[in-house]
Amino acid sequence: MKMKKKIRLGLALLVVFAMMCPGAALAVTTKATEAPFNSAVANCLEDSSDNLTIQIPPKAFAKNITVKVFKKAAADINAPKEYYVCRANDITFTNVNSVQETNSMIPLRITYKFDKLEYLRACDMDTSQPVSKFRLGYFNNVQQKWVILPTTIYWNGENGVAEATANLGSGHYALFWDPDASGSNLSTMGGENVRLFVNYTQVFSQVEPFIYEGRTMVPIGVITTNLGAQLTWYSEDQHAKILTDKHIVEIWVGNSKAVKDGNIVAVQVPPMIIGSRTFVPLSFIGQAIDAEVVWDGFTHSVYVTK
């Protein structure tokens, strides 16, 4: 499986090149607190200092943007008094005209990682309080008020992730503890359940991805369609042809060999049909159509970007 492309801020020339040459644009993951992004492709900024991740689908903003993350003190964000502030940041999305974007056209995904120590501090050592009281908050600069985002919590007893997806823009962001929160927002993901994201937008299939013999199996038709590739199915011999902008790939159900641009390539688990959908190993997607593929075992999520 390919790893995500990681660049440091000092190597941002790749991003600049992508902005200047849209035809050469690639999905980019940047580990930094500031980075320019081409809005035509999928982008992800990971701020390791605050364990904060921002996933930006293509065309979330009309123009190319620069994303900046600033650490903030709890006293500086005018948070609601009923919440305990675990972490706070200012995040700005500034377009090429130096205008801060106030609302994305497509939902962004923001996550904060936390650990057991942070949970114990938030709940004041009262472990009868469920970890599901963590919430993500966003201060809308236009409305001048805090909005508590629909938050999903992933938790394994030692470490956790708080995740929210919404149309977002420049403003304050915070990981809150709400002592009065009710209801469970704990994720039920686990076992063989898998979420599928293409260019940081969740996509769904009649049969969802699953784990088979230690391999993550994904519906190739849903992925190729969402990446703009053409897929043709031949029922007479149960094989599929995938046509991308650069490659022609053919696979056969039950066959551990495929053909890419006339060359035979191996498929770790032979393609299979489940519920009228053709499934292939996740790693084959990257190999076959030059996509970046990432398996996040903590949230049971598959990310395919190109």
What pLDDT digit, counting tens, does each position of 58-88 carry? 999 999 999 999 999 999 999 989 999 999 9
Quick one: what percent of the chain has pLDDT higher than 70?
A: 91
Query: Does the pLDDT value for residue 20 go beyond 60?
Result: no
User: Cα(136)–Cα(173) distance, rounded to whole angstroms?
Assistant: 7
3-class SS letters over 157-176: CCEEEEEEEECCCCEEEEEE
Of the pLDDT bands very low, low, confident and very high (cuts 50, 70, 90), residue 18 is very low
| CA 204/CA 239 separation, integer angstroms | 23
pLDDT at 113: 97
What the block records as the tokens of 161 is 């992730």
The pLDDT of residue 92 is 95
Strand partners, 137: 148, 174
CA 272 vs. chain centroid, Å, equals 26
Q: How far is CA 79 from CA 89, 153, 175, 266, in A?
A: 12, 21, 11, 54
Q: What is the pTM of this model?
A: 0.85
Give start and end residues of each alpha helix (H) in 216-299: 220-226, 282-289
Q: What is the mean pLDDT of residues 126-137?
A: 96
Residue 183 has pLDDT above 90, yes or no: no
What's the pLDDT score for residue 26? 58
What is the 8-class DSSP label of residue 184?
A: -
Q: Which two tokens stand for residue 225?
A: 């369609």
What is the band of 192 on the pLDDT scale with cuts at 50, 70, 90? confident
Q: How far apart are CA 102 and CA 92, in angstroms?
A: 9
Best CA proximity match to 157, nearest among 183, 190, 180, 192: 190
The confidence score (pLDDT) of residue 23 equals: 35
Burial class (CB in 10 A: 0-12, 13-18, 19+), 182: exposed
Residue at token pair 């919430």: 135
Assign 136 a pLDDT band (cuts: 50, 70, 90). Answer: very high
The residue-averaged pLDDT of 160-182 equals 95
Residue 15 pLDDT > 70: no
Contact by Cβ (8 Å): 12, 5: no
On the CB side of 283, CA atoms within 13 Å amount to 12
pLDDT class for 28, splitting at 50, 70, 90? low
As a whole number of angstroms, the distance between CA 153 and CA 211 comes to 22
> Tokens for 297?
């075992």
